[in-house]
Amino acid sequence: MALARTHSVALIGITGHVVEVEADIANGLPATIMVGLPDTALREARDRIRAAIVNSGQTWPPHKITVGLSPASLPKRGSWFDLAIAIGVLAAAAQVPRTALDGVMFFGELGLDGRLRRVNGVLPAVAAAAQHGFTRVMVAEENAAEAALVPGVRVIAAPTLAAAVDWLCETPGQRAVSPAAECKGRQDSVANNLPNGPDTTGQGHPVPAGADLAELLGQSLARHGAEVCAAGGHHLSLLGPPGAGKTMLAERIPGILPRLDADAALEVTSIHSVAGTLPEKVPLLTDPPFLAPHHTATKAAIVGGGSGIIRPGSASLAHRGVLFLDEAPEFARDVLDALRQPLEAGEVVVARSGVAARFPARFTLILAANPCPCARAAGPAEGCSCSPHARRRYLGRISGPLLDRVDVKIELEPVSRKELLNDRNFAESSQTVALRVRQARERAAYRLRGTPWRLNAEIPGSELRRTWPPEPGSLQVVERSLERGQISARGVVKVIRVAWTIADLAGRARPGRAECDSALGLWLGVQR
Domain boundaries, position 85: 2-192
Q: Are residues 480 and 446 in the same domain?
A: no
**288-301: average pLDDT:** 95
> For residue 143, which of 15, 244, 280 has the smallest C-alpha distance?
280
Q: What is the pLDDT of residue 136?
A: 94
Domain presence at residue 268: yes
**37-53: average pLDDT:** 87
Confirm if 288 and 321 have CB atoms less than 8 A apart: yes
Confirm if 8 and 80 have CB atoms less than 8 A apart: yes
Q: What is the pLDDT of residue 376?
A: 67
**Alpha helix positions (H), 233-295:** 246-252, 262-275
Q: Are residues 253 and 293 in the same domain?
A: yes
CATH code for position 427: 3.40.50.300
Q: Are residues 171 and 271 in the same domain?
A: no
Q: Are residues 423 and 470 in the same domain?
A: no
Question: How far are the Cα atoms of 68, 82, 104, 135, 404 from residue 47, in angstroms, in the given order?
Answer: 16, 10, 24, 30, 55
Q: What is the pLDDT of residue 1?
A: 61
Rounded percentage of the chain residues whose pLDDT exceeds 70: 88
Domain presence at residue 387: yes
Does the pLDDT value for residue 193 go beyond 50? Answer: no
Q: Are residues 147 and 239 in the same domain?
A: no
Q: What is the pLDDT of residue 202?
A: 34
239-243, 304-308, 360-364, 379-383: which has the highest mean pLDDT? Answer: 360-364
Q: Are residues 188 and 291 in the same domain?
A: no
Q: Are residues 372 and 488 in the same domain?
A: no
Does the pLDDT value for residue 446 go beyond 90? Answer: yes
Domain presence at residue 208: no
Does the pLDDT value for residue 185 go beyond 80? Answer: no
Domain presence at residue 197: no
Query: Three-class SS of residue 490?
Result: helix
Q: Give the domain-ending residue among 452, 475, 497.
A: 452
Q: What is the pLDDT of residue 78?
A: 81
Q: Are residues 35 and 184 in the same domain?
A: yes
Confirm if 314 and 323 have CB atoms less than 8 A apart: yes
Would you tell me how many other CB atoms lie within 10 Å of the CB of residue 450? 5
Q: Are residues 365 and 463 in the same domain?
A: no
Confirm if 481 and 487 have CB atoms less than 8 A apart: yes
Would you tell me how many other CB atoms lie within 10 Å of the CB of residue 5? 18
Q: What is the C-alpha separation between 514 and 526, in angstroms, rounded?
A: 15
Q: Give the domain-ending residue among 137, 158, 192.
A: 192
Domain presence at residue 198: no
| Whole-prediction pTM | 0.88
Q: Are residues 261 and 398 in the same domain?
A: yes
Q: What is the pLDDT of residue 375?
A: 72
Q: Give the domain-ending residue among 452, 482, 514.
A: 452
393-427 pLDDT, tens digit per residue, is 888 999 999 999 999 999 988 877 666 666 555 67
Q: How many domains does the chain have?
A: 3
Q: What is the pLDDT of residue 420?
A: 65
Q: Are residues 376 and 481 in the same domain?
A: no
**269-287: average pLDDT:** 91
Q: Are residues 405 and 273 in the same domain?
A: yes
Confirm if 366 and 344 have CB atoms less than 8 A apart: no
Domain presence at residue 35: yes
Confirm if 165 and 138 have CB atoms less than 8 A apart: no
The two most distant CA atoms of the chain are separated, in Å, by 89
